[in-house]
Amino acid sequence: MRRPAGRPGGRLAGRVALVTGAASGIGAATARRLAAEGALVGVADLWAAGARRVAERIRSAGGTACALRCDVSQEAEVKATVSELTASFGPLDVLHSNAACLDRDVYGRDRDLLDLAVEVWDRTMAVNVRGAMLMVKHTVPAMRDGGAIVLTSSVSGLVGATDHAAYGTSKSALTGLVRYVATMYGSRGIRCNAIAPGLVMTDAAREAMPPERLAEKAAERLLPWPAEPDDVAALAAFLVSDEARCVTGQTIVLDSGTTAHRPEHAIRAWERAKLDR
């Protein structure tokens, strides 16, 4: 099969990349960035129409992309997605496993652990953890030696909070998975790292967070600006490039300094809670 050409001149020119959760937010930004760097990109998402829109935007900008509908929690769908992409573009070089369960009826119900419905826990783990594992399981055999994998974790997997225990625990699991994948396949030159973002100002975040909550988040940061999806995409593009050839098994925090200092906001919240008792 003749391999399609990616955009010439980029540091990922001609490489084949698969991005999951790519219909919006971080995944869409990463798919666009990898394509701009020259990669041939599979834009995978459960939301097929969104994936098609992102792929079309990449093609309109002169890149190469195809849209792939995939529920990452289902092994048959993951296997079919990888097969479809490699049949179109050839062996894989890059995986960005970014899909996560942020549906309102799952993430929105992930509040107090004592009231947590088991189905919310199970669906969170199925998408966030099993989905990442299945993607690794089926992309590594289809990956050329020297490939690179990035998982999207979260600062929620590194520090505790008073809500979203299922989500945070699932992201903690990815930190461990990164180390195992890096260890198991490093002899093939395959690298695996994770990015742990804090608040990222996706369209969904802007719609969901009221002004007072955004102000609270701003008070937690050391820098005057929050992360944007393009900031995560830029780090992902670096991690899968040859410039990061000696970086593997790491979880890199991208949070504008939120977790780099004493959590004064959390301390104030505890003090207010004591007064309310």
Which positions are annotated as active-site residues? 167
What are the DSSP calls for 206-275, one per residue? HHHS-HHHHHHHHHH-SSSS-B-HHHHHHHHHHHTSGGGTT--S-EEEESTTTTSS--HHHHHHHHHHHH
Retrieve residue 191's tokens. 């690298």
Which residue shows structure tokens 């199925």?
A: 126
Tell me how far apart the alpha carbons of residues 22 and 134 are, in angstroms, rounded to a whole number.
Answer: 17
- Phi–psi pair at 240, nearest 5 degrees: -95, 0
Three-state secondary structure call for residue 58: helix
